[in-house]
Amino acid sequence: MAEEMRIVLRNYGKIDPQKIDDYLAVGGYNSLNKARAMSNVDLINEIKASKLRGRGGAGFNCGMKLNFAYQAQADQKYVICNADEGEPGTYKDRIIMENDPHTVLEGMAICGYAIGATQGFIYCRGEYPSVAETLKQAIAQAKAKGVLGDFSIEVRLGAGAYVCGEESALIESIEGNRGEPRIRPPFPPVVGLWGKPTIVNNVETFANIPVILEKGSAWFAAIGAPSYPGTKVVTLTGDVNNKTFFEVPTDTTIKEVIFQFGGGIAAGKEFKAVQIGGTSGAFIPASQLDTQISFDAMVAIGAVLGSGAVFVLDASRDLVDVTARISKFFADESCGKCAPCREGTMRMHDLMNKINDGKGASADVALLGKLGRVMSYSCFCGLGQVAPAPVLSTIKHFSADYNAKLM
Ligand SMILES: Cc1cc2nc3c(=O)[nH]c(=O)nc-3n(C[C@H](O)[C@H](O)[C@H](O)COP(=O)(O)O)c2cc1C
């Protein structure tokens, strides 16, 4: 039996998130003090040695990102916590911030020290007003106790655009501009917020850092899948018995997540498909359920781990209908900056609706496939590049659902 392992959620339910003294009593901010006693280079090397990779979707090596920002010369540098969490079905960052805000602040302050930044921002999803209050209260308490030293943190609220979770659009949004992605390179660790070196990391990524410093990089690197070590907080939704969250080692399989932790398919029905990583994730059939929920194992089957959202569908679900609804989400959320995404997401939605309404022909399915492939390499940012994933994966694995609706 696979077992839950709580690293980022280690204090969940054990401390009062509104009281910094509770966090201090369980060793909170000791890791920050430990970090400050190290040189920047030693600290970055320790985080690098842990092989911690981003938990927000792109899976980039956290220590390498820190090193880029450390090497960059500038009079100011910034640390941004990406708490936009706009991915439908994902609520892991909310759970972390609501229940243990100081872990996130401590992780940010450690990274601030590592790169030489004195200012941090938490870009919090606008639909999370109570989380923003919890964070502000935690920041005020940390300031009053003096635990953050010269590192300041501000909370900024998003205004509901999905694209603002993309790190360069997020930076534009903090600067007060329209949320649209920037051309990269240069990447944010070199040219970021207000043109200064900036690291952007996900809430869950930051929450791992104090524990890595406390227990050591070797301890962390030995947990779960070797190329993406540690744990993943997964949020289960859809036709599954336990619609809740779990933190599991990254070598846990999708099957274990759904059938063991999730308690299996609701109402005694059969499994049909699972979408992992949020709305932009591929739909995975039963034959691939033995895949581990690690970044590389998911890529190997043409899927993504993404945010770790697990959306389960039972055998009664019509995947054409589900995918048509998802395509509307992308048509609505495209920021419109580049033509392949602006036009492509709308055309994709039109074609999906046509097929879903029983008015499509096999040529429309072929056109969808071609459109999806072109979008995946021609769109300016990740939004448009991954928008076709649900369409392409359902055409590949669930063609019977399409065939049943064709004229
Ligand atoms: C359309 C889009 C939305 C995104 N939304 C989020 C988000 O809500 N939270 C997040 O952490 N990363 C999100 N990302 C990924 C970020 O661009 C970036 O890779 C991440 O914040 C880096 O942090 P990490 O290395 O800790 O994962 C999104 C990317 C795209 C393309």
Q: Is the CB of 90 under 6 A from ligand 1?
A: no
Same domain as 185, residue 93: yes
CA torsion angle 328 331 334 337 (round to 10): 180
Same domain as 266, residue 391: no
Q: Is the CB of 24 under 6 A from ligand 1?
A: no
User: Final residue of a domain: which of 291, 312, 333?
Assistant: 312
Q: Is residue 226 part of a domain?
A: no
Give the span between the Cα atoms of 215 and 338, in whole angstroms: 45
Give nearest CA residue, ligand 1 atom 28: 166
Q: Is the CB of 346 under 6 A from ligand 1?
A: no
Query: What pLDDT does 1 receive?
Result: 63
Give nearest CA residue, ligand 1 atom 25: 54
The minimum-distance atom of ligand 1 relative to the CA of 280 is: 1
Mention every residue, 6+ apart, whose C-beta is less than 8 A from residue 255: 289, 290
Query: What pLDDT does 283 receive?
Result: 98
Give nearest CA residue, ligand 1 atom 31: 382
Q: Is the CB of 56 under 6 A from ligand 1?
A: yes
Give nearest CA residue, ligand 1 atom 6: 165
Query: What pLDDT does 328 receive?
Result: 98
Q: Is residue 97 part of a domain?
A: yes
350: domain range? 319-403
DSSP string, 129-147: HHHHHHHHHHHHHHHHHTT
Query: What pLDDT does 127 receive?
Result: 95
387 and 344 Cβ atoms separated by less than 8 Å:
yes
Give the span between the Cα atoms of 258 and 211, in whole angstroms: 27
346 CA to centre of ligand 1 in angstroms: 23
Q: Is the CB of 306 under 6 A from ligand 1?
A: no
- How does pLDDT run across 12-41, given as a tens digit for each residue? 999 999 999 999 999 999 999 999 999 999
User: Final residue of a domain: which of 177, 201, 221?
Assistant: 221
Q: Is the CB of 86 under 6 A from ligand 1?
A: yes
Which regions of the chain are under pLDDT 50?
none
Question: What pTM, to 2 d.p., does this model score?
Answer: 0.98
